[in-house]
Structure 1
Amino acid sequence: MKLIFSPLSPFARKVRVLLHETGQLGDVEMVDVATTPLDTHPDAAAANPLGKIPALVRADGPTLYDSRVITRYLDHRAGGRMYPQARLWDVLTLEATAEGIMEAALSMTYEARFRPEEVQYAPWVDAQWQKASRALAAVNARWMSHLAGPLDMSHIAMGCALGYLDFRHDARGWRVGNEALADWYAAVSERESMAQTAPE
């Protein structure tokens, strides 16, 4: 299998952390591509008609894309412990929350990097940050007991989302008012899988 990815993508990082945690790193060739919304890398376009990463190219079936599809497949392949049936709906909901934070943060990044300064729209950026902020507050208020449990895919997704906020939007100070979540993130960041995949 081949993973078409960028080390800066929080969505791709989710997959890479899962590969670490499930012992599948040796089964997947990493294909690092530089791709943007305005200039899609040929490998990304060939793997996914939408041109988005990550994409998992398989020898025995169609290429998989969307990080949640890829992680479900890889977890199933490894025995299914990252999506435990007993708390599946909680895992999926918290993973979706983390993905929403990533999407809002990535939208902010794109507005600054790929739109000319004279047409950048500050209210749009602020609205995206409000989405992320509401999600962070909800996790801090209602999901800490889940995050305190055994590692599952929602933990990985949330860790990657928070890592992306630090990487691209650290000045926004997401930790203020979310101290419990910040403490949790400090601990989960020490896992080898998180340290090995941190964006630089």
Structure 2
Amino acid sequence: MPVLRSSPPSPFGRKIKIAAHVLGLMERITVEPTDTKDPADTIRSQNPLGKIPALVLDDGTVLYDSRVIAEYLDWLAGGGQILPEGEARFPVLRLQALADGIMDAGILQIYEARFRPEERRHAEWVAYQADKVARALATLEADPPARVAPHSVPDLGQIALACALGYLDLRFAGAWRADHPKLVAWLDAFEAAVPAFDKTRPVG
């Protein structure tokens, strides 16, 4: 059985868990908690970058990062489920890239505070990352992606965006919500249509 190395707060790990749920694959995957800060954790030998998520296949092959793992899961489920075929694929990949960028920029802000002593923190760097998030949210608010219909399979871009907004709720107290009502409505619709979003909700 494949093993997903992840951590509950990781938005990229959550993206893979939601993808596995909606593809009907979650029962075929074991989730193994991972501490990327621990030099003794095997994640560093499984993924040379020491990053999560990583998917350890039955033959020992390890897939990383979340984009590769998601594509593998879609293939495993028969293809064309969360990643459309043909030209329709590219808007989904673009939305995923934007959502992944929000997650990256959010994580970098958290890391600056978590791993640097206060006297060495770089306020301009944090502002630079925050501005990325602000521009991405403004772009999405102006032209929100299609809402996920009940009982339908979300695409990978929609999954990634839901995880990005969920991460902003978790780490930034949902401050994004005040100025982005269309995205709030979009996320509410996603949560109502995709039970896996609540099942994978991190608590810390």
Percent identical residues: 43
Tell me the residue number matched to 2:84. 84
Amino acid at match of 1:163: G
- Per the alignment, residue 176 of structure 1 pairs with 178
Unaligned runs of at least 5 residues, structure 2: none
Go from structure 1 to structure 2 and tell me whether the alpha carbon gap of 1:40 and 1:98 turns closer, same or farther (over 3 Å shift).
farther
Letter matched to residue 156 of structure 2:
M
Conserved? CA contact 2:147–2:190, under 8 Å: no
Instruction: Give the whole-Å Cα distance in 2 for the aligned partners of 1:92 and 1:44.
Output: 27
TM-score, normalised by the number of residues in structure 1 = 0.92
* Structure 2 CA distance for partners of 1:133 and 1:41, relative to 1, 3 Å: farther
Mean Cα displacement is larger for which, 90-99 or 115-124?
Answer: 115-124
Moved more, 160-169 or 133-142: 133-142
Instruction: Report the counterpart of residue 8 of structure 1 in structure 2.
Output: 9
RMSD: 1.6
| Partner SS, residue 174 of structure 1 | helix
Q: Aligned partner of 1:152: which letter?
A: D
Q: Is the 8 A contact 1:41 1:51 kept in 2?
A: no
How much does 1:46 deviate?
1.9
Task: Specify the code of the residue in structure 2 equivalent to 1:83.
Answer: L
Residue 159 of structure 2: aligned partner:
156
Quote the offset at 1:40 in angstroms. 4.2
Is the contact between residue 33 and residue 41 of structure 1 (CA under 8 Å) also seen in structure 2? no
Moved more, 184-193 or 72-81: 184-193
Change (3 A) 1:41 1:14: farther
Question: Who is 1:23 aligned against?
Answer: 24
Q: Which residue of 1 aligns with 2:113?
A: 112
Pick from 170, 175, 181 the counterpart of residue 167 of structure 1: 170
| Cα distance, 1:157 vs structure 2 | 0.3
Deviations 1:89-124 (A, max 9, x none): 000000000000000000001001111111111121
Moved more, 51-60 or 102-111: 51-60
Whole-angstrom distance in 2 between the partners of 1:24 and 1:162: 24
Q: How many residue pairs get matched?
A: 196
Distance in 1 (alpha carbons) for counterparts of 2:113 and 2:191: 27
Mapped partners of 1:20, 1:40: distance in 2: 31
Q: Distance in 1 between matches of 2:39 and 2:198?
A: 28
Give the C-alpha shift of residue 140 in structure 1.
Answer: 1.4
SS of equivalent to 2:71: helix
User: Given that residues 148 and 190 in structure 2 are in contact (C-alpha distance below 8 angstroms), is that contact kept between their aligned partners in structure 1?
Assistant: no
